[in-house]
Amino acid sequence: MNLSAEEEKRIFGFLQQRNYCLRCCFRFIGWHSPECFQNPFKFANSLGYIAAENTSSNDEKPCPACLGILQKPMQESVIQKIQAEVEKQNYDSETFITALTIPTCVGLRERLLHMQCSLELGLSENTLISLKTKIQTIKDIWKLVVIPKVEQAIKKKVDVTTPSAFLIEIILSYKYNEKECEVLLSKYKGTKNVVNKRKRKFNDTRFSKKSIETLMTSITDEEFTEYFKDFSLETTASADVENIMCSHSSIFVGGRYNKLSRELSQTPWFINGEKKMQTSVQDILCNPIAEAIGAQSIKFLSSGREDVDVRNIHSGRPFAVELINPRISKITEKALSDLVDKINHSSQQVQIASNLKVLSRLDLKTLKEGENVKTKFYRALCICRNIPKDTVPLEKLNDLKRVQIVQKTPVRVLHRRPLSPRIRLIYEMRARWAKPQELKTLLNTTNEDASVFFVLDIKTQAGTYVKEFVHGDFGRTKPSLCDILNADVDIVALDVTGINLNWP
């Protein structure tokens, strides 16, 4: 139902006489035209709602409906604070979006105002329903009026269609918010047992928008009016800017790395709160990237992980870095190339083995799914004790294909993983006796007798515990290399030589 011009003018006059701002007067009678909110005084004058000689814009006092949020003084204050915060944080994004949080009590005030209009003006039920359904929200009008001014102030364009990755959050508060919400909560609590039964649920969030809206849908207009019969909508206080927060969506950068040390953990290693190693793969890779991009923090993601004493060589392990709240979003190929050079020159323990790339969410899905579907290649230096070399049937290993093994959770990781058996495939193996010079490459020594060592190249399903496949882990892996060779076999050194994943 549309209001007649006479009804609109009568309601408009009723609101204006009670010091409601012109924008709230227009939104309460259901106007949606941008012109009436961008220049409300001129528009109201053209309609004959206010006299031309009336120079007052009702901005001298806080509007009882929007608590000053749609009035000029508040708008100017918000824009200045947004500009100051954006300049301080120095994000390079050329676009932005906003999120406005307004006091919860605004919803109470709007409903009470509708009821007062209905009672004092004798509005019909259909007219009241029309007013309620057609009212423009404060947030919509605020964005219509204020966002263009914010664009000018911070020299960035709003982009809600893509949407922009740069978010400006404006949190507005009102010092009497809890007091006004308490009127509803206390009245409702006194008349409805259901709130007493759910008291715990409302303990921490009872003044939240969701909690108040839930309560308001549970009561009638008559009950609501009764609860607030002694409440005055007039106020001398306006809303305040509680906080302006800027943030940027995460950016992901990834590539492949080689770990060349047998004394380096993948992530920082803490025991009882104490860092046990000076650095880690994560520190070496991520810290320079986070510093260059101006990230607030990082998350390190990789396709599996190697043990402290295991190297990762040749093609490298796929990894990604989530750069949380980065200041720099325009990342060029040259910048990424410079980061590769910087990281590789800074450490002999870890080297980036590919180009770095800015990743998409789809790329990350590939990294995650690869944990279960990829195949991996290893080279292990094994030792065969107490048995003459000529009696060890190494050639037998070369003929085995798709060996299925069952592995219980290894003893070494039981403290952090549940005890459960897993079935894995050993796709193929190649074994040969070690050459003396290989001991230096794999073991960093030439003092050992090479005749007791053999080199095992192995292709496995992702998630295979290779060390345990070699030595059996006290019978927890079946079959193991010890079972197959019928010999006492142990692993001395292990390298990851390939991870079969299309990355990056």
Among 226, 247, 268, the domain boundary falls at: 247
Instruction: Establish if 77 belongs to a structural domain.
Output: yes
Known catalytic residues?
A: 307
The helix-helix angle for 72-89 and 138-154 (nearest 10°) equals 50
Q: Are residues 467 and 487 in the same domain?
A: yes
Average pLDDT score over residue span 240-254: 97
Using CA atoms, how far apart are residues 323 and 333, in angstroms rounded to an integer? 17
Shared domain for 209 and 229, answered yes or no, is yes
3-state helix, strand, coil in the chain (%, to 5): 40, 25, 35
Same domain? For 316 and 431 the reply is no
At 347, which CATH number?
A: 3.30.70.2510
Residue 293 has pLDDT above 50, yes or no: yes
In a domain, 487, yes or no: yes
Q: Is the pLDDT of residue 490 over 80?
A: yes
Domain assignment present for 419: yes
pLDDT (mean) for 431-438? 88
279 and 210 in a common domain: no
pLDDT at 301: 95
Which of the four pLDDT bands, split at 50, 70 and 90, describes residue 25? Answer: very high
Name the domain boundary from 247, 276, 294: 247
Tell me: do 285 and 396 sit in the same domain.
Answer: no
Whether the per-residue pLDDT at 59 is higher than 90: the answer is: no
- Looking at the DSSP bridge assignments, the partners of residue 385 are 488
Per-residue burial over 196-233, b = 16 or more CB atoms within 10 Å of its CB, e = otherwise:
eeeeeebeeebbebebbeebeeebebeebbebbeeeeb
- The CATH number covering residue 386 comes to 3.30.70.3190
Residue 199, pLDDT score: 46
Model confidence at 443: pLDDT above 90: no
Query: Please, which pLDDT band fits residue 194 given cuts at 50, 70 and 90?
Result: very low
At residue 405, the pLDDT reads 98
Residue 110 lies in a domain: yes
Q: pLDDT band at residue 54, thresholds of 50, 70 and 90?
A: low
- Residue 137 belongs to what domain range? 68-247
239 lies in the same domain as 301: no
Identify whether residues 131 and 239 lie together within a single domain: yes
In a domain, 264, yes or no: yes
Same domain flag for 255 and 292:
yes
State how far the Cα of 181 lies from the Cα of 407, in Å rounded to an integer: 60
Same domain, yes or no, for 81 and 180? yes
Q: Kindly state whether residue 277 falls inside one of the protein's structural domains.
A: yes
> Among 76-85, 301-310, 444-453, which stretch is predicted with the lowest mean pLDDT?
444-453
The mean pLDDT value for 311-320 works out to: 96
Q: Is pLDDT of 386 > 90?
A: no
Residues 349, 481 within the same domain: no
Question: Higher-confidence residue: 336 or 504?
Answer: 336
195 membership: H or E segment, kind and range: helix 193-197
Upstream peptide bond of 64 is cis (omega within 30 degrees of 0): no
pTM exceeds 0.85, yes or no? yes
pLDDT above 70 covers a percentage of the chain that reads 94
On the question of pLDDT at 57 being above 90, the answer is no
**E strands along 367-438, which residues?**
375-385, 401-407, 422-433
* Mean pLDDT computed over every residue of the chain: 91
Is 180 exposed, middle or buried (CB count within 10 Å of its CB: 0-12, 13-18, 19+)? buried
80 and 186 share one domain: yes
Query: What local confidence, expressed as pLDDT, does residue 426 receive?
Result: 97
Query: Residue 47 domain-assigned?
Result: no
Residue 373, pLDDT > 90, answer no
**Residue 158 forms part of a structural domain:** yes
- Co-location of 266 and 242 in the same domain: no
Average pLDDT over residues 213-224: 90
Cβ–Cβ < 8 Å for 90, 328:
no
pLDDT confidence band for 499 (50 / 70 / 90): very high
- Domain boundary (372, 400, 424) is at 372
pLDDT for the residue 196: 46
- Of 1 and 494, the structure prediction assigns the larger pLDDT to 494
Going by their DSSP bridges, the two strands 270-271 and 274-275 should be labelled as: antiparallel
Give the model confidence (pLDDT) of 133-180 as tens digits: 999 999 999 999 999 999 999 999 999 999 999 999 999 999 999 999
Name beta bridge partners: 494: 310, 380
- Can you tell me the distance from the alpha carbon of 217 to that of 225, in angstroms, rounded to the nearest whole number? 14
**Quick check: 203 pLDDT over 60?**
no
Number of domain units in the chain: 3
Residue 118: which of 217, 28, 188, 4 has the closest Cα? 28
Across the range 380-391, mean pLDDT stands at: 88
